[in-house]
Structures are given as C-alpha cells and as structure tokens.
Amino acid sequence: MRRGKNEGSIRERKDGRFEVRVTAGIDFETGKAKRISYYTHTKQEAVKKLHEKEYDIHFNHQIDPTSTKLIDWLRVWLDKYMRNSLKQSTYTSYKGYVEKHLSAAFPTLKLKDLTPMLLQDFYNYKLNNEGLSPKTIANIHRCLHKALKQAVLEHHIDFNPCDAVNLPRNEKPQIEILTREEQQQLMYTSYKFRYGIFIRLTLATGIRLGELLGLRWEDIDAKKNMLNIRRTLNRLPKVDYNGIGNSTEIVIQEPKTKNSVRSIPLMPVILNELLQWKNVQLSDARTAGEAYNDSGFIVTHQLGGYIEPRNFKDFYDQILQASGLGHYTFHALRHTFATRALEQGMDAKTLSTLLGHYSVAFTLDTYTHVLDSQKHEEMSLLEELFAAPTTPIHHSYPVIVSPSANGFVLTTIDFEELSVEADNIQYGIDCIQSAIIQRTARSYPPSPTPVNELVLNNGEFVVMVNI
C-alpha cells in the first residue's frame, strides 16, 4: 500500500509482519525527510497504526482552529514551546495546571470556542466551589494566557479571551517574622547543633532554602567578604515525555529569576564561622574514610553529599523546637532578615538587590509593615514643632477698669487692643479672662506688668485676672 510522496506507506515483510512507514518532519542533520517505521502482525492493525500516526504528525505540525480542542493545543504548546524554555519547576507547575484543572473543566471544548464568559465562570467556580486560592487561580491564568497568546500569534484565534476576565482579589498573605527576642533565642540555641551555622547564615543574608543548599565553596569570596548566589537545589516532580509522573528528583538549576543571581556581603563573624565549618567537613572525611565523597557543596551530611530540602527542614525544626519557639517556616528567616534590615535603616533599593527581588516595588509592598512603623517614628520627630505652647496657669494679669456711660470698660495692659465693655464688672472680668486664654493659646504669653508701674486716671482702678 503505497501513497504519494512524503505520505505513509504499508508493506508486507518476508516474515509475515507489516511495516508501517510515516514521514515525521525533517532530519535537520541530513536535510531530508525523517522516516519512522512501526510493525504490526496484521494488515488491519497496520492501517489503523498508519492513520493514528499520520493524525498525530499532522496535528503536531498543523493546527486546525475549527476542530482543534483547547486541551490539545495546550499540550502541544507545552511540548513544543515551553519544554526547553522554562525552568523544570515552572514547567512542572504549568503541566499540573493543564492536566489537573483545565483538562477536567474543558475536555472537549474547541480552541476557538473559549470565551471570556466561560473562562470567568471557570475561575469563579474554582474560587467559590472548590476553594482554590486566588493565587493559584492567578497562576493558572498566567499559564493559559501565555498559551493563548501563542495561538493568537499563529492566527489560530483572533484574540486572547484571558484579556477580558477579572481575577479574584489576591489578599496579601501574612508573613511570618521572628521578634528580636525570638531571633536572639534561635541564634543562641543554634550554636548547640551541627547545622546551626546555616540558620545564622540565613538570618544574616536572607537567602532562600534552595539557594542555601545549592551553595558551593567556590561561591564564597573570602577576600571580598562576599557570598555569590549562582544556583538552587530543590526536589521537584520528575517530568518525562509522557508528562508528570509520581516520582521526584533533585534538580540543581539557576536561581528563581535573573535578579536572584547576586552577591551578598558577609559579616566577618559569619564568614569566620563558615570557614570553621570546613573543619567539620574534614573531621567527617577522616571519620568516614573511603565512604566519604566530597561533593563540593557547603551544606553536607557526614558522608560529604548534599542535603535534601526536606531533611534540612527536619534539622531546622529540631533547632526551632529546642529554642522553645512556636512553629516558623524556614522562609520566616528570610522575612526576619529583611525586617531587621529595614528597621536598622537600610534603603529599600539595597534590600531589594540583596533579596534578589525583581523590583523595588515588590520589596516595598512585601514589607509595608516595617515601613509604616518607620513612618510613624519619623513623623513623631516633627511633633514638637506643632505642639501647642504651654500656657502658664499661675499668671495674674492686671486689667484697668474705667467707668463709662453704660457701665465699665476693661482694658488689658499686656495684650494690645484687647478690651471689653460691660455693665457688670464680674461679667466683664469673665469675658476678658476668656479672651486672654484664647490669645495665649496661639502664642507664648508675655510676663505680667507689675501693678506699681501702672498710671491710672480719675475713677480708674485695677483688677487681677488669673489664667
């Protein structure tokens, strides 16, 4: 059964089996068509295999937007565009979003039929009915948006429906921070444990757990007192060409973002403790003998190999428990470093660089609690400039009382143009007292004029007004 050029074919072999041959793209080494063979026992099986493989090959090279299902496009996009361009951790996450959430929600929906309203209903359902967090929904949305953006660029769809939906509000999570007293207690206790130095190192640098475990001795510049962050060590789901399995593997890769590749100054005391840790490794090597394998990592077990994240977390929990503190995640040490740095007056841009954040704005948003506290402290320094002057309550000011046709005129000596006319002396005194109090509230009051310095006219006399 032969067909046109570059199409599949079936032929019967001498041993009675049937060979199915299909063209699967271009061999870029030779420039010729790549031919792949499959073998079956019957001609019927061969025809079925030929149709299956031709469909797969056709689908992988040409997308028909009128018939292609959304889930099929997402899988092609992951395999063709993302497999070699994403970090394994990110690829694994995207694969999970596609297979766990999107495939279950849209198993048969065509690519062209996904609308903003359908997508909005999907996000609302995940939030309200399944209790999915706004952050997870945002991550699913980010993955889907990228896939559909590629579909738009290839003219499979006219616009990206992700652009027209509203994501649920993502409440900022409450970050864990050790108090100064708790930090001191943890540091004190850490000296009693093998890996205590790495607790103190984290509190002094704010590095992530994966960054800590990925440190090698060449990452320390002892002459410049610098720690260079160049890689991370994490345990991630293992990905093969059939998708994500149940197994996991240790992955050593570049840090989280390009900003995460950075250099952090080391305090001399911390640098000295790290160099002393080398002696611990030498002791381990002597004890283990031939069983010791120097991996080159800084954080190692007694046989010289790296330590897995989950095992190091167990060591950290032991130190935490011995400190008598409540439960804190290891990431709380990073937040504690950042908080102490801001409290001591470090500017946000420098801190952002040390933490490896992608922007200063993210740093400011994350540690608003510290900045708010600092703002209150700084503003309190201005309070004395706006404090109302203290009014002396023991002063008695002389007031001249002059008879008039309607009663009396009360005139102050120490406050210009302040006088009161009244038909009753006591009423006049009460009024003039209120006026003086109002005047002294806006300015520092003058010293009262001595009574013996006053010159009186006929009929005038002096009364003393207390404030």
Q: Which helix (H) or strand (E) holds 410?
A: strand 407-412
**pTM of this prediction exceeds 0.75:** no
**Mean pLDDT, 10 residues at a time, the chain of 467 residues:** 58 85 63 73 82 62 71 91 83 90 92 94 92 91 95 92 91 84 95 96 96 96 95 80 65 82 94 95 95 96 95 96 93 94 90 91 82 70 64 76 88 85 88 85 81 86 86
pLDDT score of 31: 54
pLDDT score of 295: 95
Q: Where are the beta strands (DSSP E) in 15-68?
A: 18-26, 33-40
pLDDT score of 5: 46
Quick one: CA dihedral 260, 262, 265, 270, positive or negative?
positive
pLDDT score of 385: 66
pLDDT score of 224: 94
The C-alpha atoms of residue 79 and residue 82 are separated, in whole angstroms, by 6
CB 443 within 8 A of CB 456: no
pLDDT score of 245: 56
Q: Which residues contact 40 (CB under 8 A, 6 or more apart)?
A: 17, 18, 20, 46, 49
**In the beta sheet, which residues pair with residue 248?**
237
CB 40 within 8 A of CB 18: yes
CB 140 within 8 A of CB 124: no
The C-alpha atoms of residue 152 and residue 74 are separated, in whole angstroms, by 13
Other beta carbons less than 10 A from residue 10's beta carbon: 19
pLDDT score of 148: 95
The C-alpha atoms of residue 467 and residue 434 are separated, in whole angstroms, by 9
What 267-272 contacts at long range (C-beta under 8 Å, 24+ apart), as own/partner pairs, is: 267/204, 267/225, 268/225, 270/200, 270/201, 270/204, 270/205, 271/220, 271/222, 271/225
Rounded to 5 degrees, φ, ψ at 249 are -155, 155
Q: What is the dihedral of CA 460, 464, 465, 467, to 10 degrees?
A: 150
Identify which of 220, 438, 200, 208 has the alpha carbon closest to the alpha carbon of residue 323.
200
pLDDT score of 405: 85
Q: Where are the beta strands (DSSP E) in 225-332?
A: 226-229, 232-240, 243-253, 262-265
pLDDT score of 14: 84
The C-alpha atoms of residue 196 and residue 227 are separated, in whole angstroms, by 18
pLDDT score of 203: 97
3-state secondary structure (DSSP) of residue 252:
strand
CB 337 within 8 A of CB 202: yes
pLDDT score of 171: 73
- Residue at 93: amino acid letter: S
